[in-house]
Structure formats: C-alpha cells, structure tokens
Amino acid sequence: MSKNRYPRLLGLVPLLGTLLLGGCNMTLLNPTGQVGLEQRNLIITATLLMLLVVVPVIVMTFLFAWKYRASNKDAVYTPKWSHSTKIEVAVWTIPVLIIIALGYITYISTHKLDPYRPIESDVKPVTIEVVALDWKWLFIYPEQGIATVNKIVFPAHTPVNFRITSDAVMNSFFIPGLGGQIYAMAGMTTKLHLIADRNAEMDGISANYSGAGFTGMKFKAIATSQEDFDAWVSEVKKAPKQLEQAEYAALAKPSQNNPVELYSSVTPNLFQTIVDKYEGMKPGKPLKHEKKEKEVAATDMDSNSHSAAGAEE
C-alpha cells in the first residue's frame, strides 16, 4: 500500500503546477498602467522579503522533524539545553532588518503612489467625474459635456483625473489593471490619478459590498489612441439621450445588471450638485434652510431686545 501512495502524491505535482501557473494571467500582476506597475513591484518586493523568514522556517521544520525522528539513534539528546546566543541573534536580527526594510519601502511607496498626487506629464489630463449608484457607475466628462453608464474611454499615455463620489451607500472604485482602489462616499469627493501605458480594454469593479446588485456593478475601461478617443466623444455627442435632472432621478433609482448607456449632454455642475445634496450629513454643518432659520431667529431676538429696552425707557 505504501508503494502506491507515493506515485499518487507525485501525480498531484502537475496539478499544483497548473494552479500556480494560473496566476500568471492575474490582472494585478500584469498591469496596464504606471501606477499598477509600481504597486505590482511593491507587492513582489514585500513578498520576497517576507519569504526570507517564511522559507527557512518551513525548511527547518521538515529538517528538524527528520533529524530528530524516533528512529534516528545518532541524534544528540540534550534535555538540559536552554539557550543559544547565535540563535537569539539570528531570530531577532533578521526579522528586525526585514521590518526596517519593509517600513522604508512602504513609506516611500505610500507617498509616491498617493492616489491624490497628480501624475507628472506633458500631456493635458482628462477629467472624469465618477458617481456610484445602486448598482451602476455614472461617468461624467465635464470638459466634453457628455456622460456614460458602466463604460469609460480615455486616451492612453494621458493622465486621467478621477473625482469620485456616491449618491447611494459607500462604495469603492477599482480598475485592477490601472491601479489602486479609492472609496466613493456620499457628500464627499475623493480623487484618483491613473494613466495607461498602452491601448487596452480592462474591467472595472466595485470593491466594496453595497447590496443586492453588488456582483453586477461592473464597467469597462478602455484606453485608446487620442484620435479614437476624439472620435468616440463625437459619437457619444450624437446619442439621443440627455442627462437632465429628470433623467438622472430615474437613473439613480436602484437597478441591477445595467447596460451601457450614453448621454450626449449633461446638466451643468451635476457632479457638485450630487455632492452638495448631502451637505446636512456633515457633522456640525447645518443645512442652508437651517442657516436661514437661525439668521431670522437672531434678527427677531435683536428686535425684541431693542423693543424691550425702549419700553423700559
């Protein structure tokens, strides 16, 4: 029976290799953008540094188990052993050095890959305003005066400045092929700066659970040439739909697995209007009508005090 056991175990090796090779096509390890490439390098570097501890521990576990097995009569038995300066130095110095290295790399990368930090480029960036809805993504191009649902197109080799908010629950905007995710929150504007280094079609997702339609909250992100981007904008401007207030109100209603939609025009400052509608949610900041009520109340109090003073005289 023991003779048949090892061939069976060896038969699992190709399967294990297949599983490992399956990760070669992972988007995070094959990014399209500069930010994604830097993040991939950081992940690989951090993993290799940590393996300097993990691999020796695994190897020594098997080595010690084999060396001090019950059948090995040559193994030295030292029941009163309690201390080794060499071991103490090794088990403390190596991890501390690795932590220092990881801390330095993380500090540098945190500032270098800050999502709010604009990407340096001689090319004028494209601005895209992102609104997370239940359960769809609205993209507004303020400079082009157009909008889309569940699809964005932008030129490669051009910085893209995303301004992100939510008109529903808290969400997370993520294009794995380009770079890190950033949260979308009602009443707030977050920023993300990305760039694609080649033409590509990528998947965008919601990286934060947001309810029943979460799994269908996906979109396409297409990096193309400047000429193709300009042609696409011209094509969208011919779309029959316009994103006015009434159309937006209908779009904002919860719906699942939404198709791509194109809007030839957008209500001016729609993005900021969406952000401002949650103004009263900010702690300590009153609504506009509350401000007016307080001003009126203060005026009435002043009038009453003056009247009372006049009556006393």
Q: What are the respective helix, strand and coil percentages of the chain, to the nearest 5?
A: 45, 20, 35
Domains and CATH numbers, the chain: 22-70+85-113 (1.10.287), 126-281 (2.60.40.420)
pLDDT at 298: 53
The answer on pLDDT for 282 being more than 70 is: no
The answer on pLDDT for 189 being more than 80 is: yes
**What digits encode the pLDDT tens for the residues 238-272?**
999 999 999 999 999 999 999 999 999 999 999 99
> Are 198 and 222 a contacting pair, CB within 8 Å?
no
pLDDT at 295: 57
The answer on pLDDT for 289 being more than 80 is: no
**What digits encode the pLDDT tens for the residues 80-93?**
888 889 989 988 99
pLDDT at 74: 82
Rg of the Cα atoms in the chain: 30
| Stronger pLDDT, 239 or 292, i.e. the higher one | 239
Q: Write out the two tokens for 95.
A: 């991890």
> Are 170 and 186 a contacting pair, CB within 8 Å?
yes
> pTM for the whole thing?
0.74
CA-wise closest residue to 153 among 170, 165, 141: 141
**What digits encode the pLDDT tens for the residues 109-122?**
888 889 999 999 99
The mean pLDDT of 156-164, rounded to a whole number, is: 96
| Stronger pLDDT, 32 or 308, i.e. the higher one | 32
**What digits encode the pLDDT tens for the residues 28-40?**
677 788 888 888 8
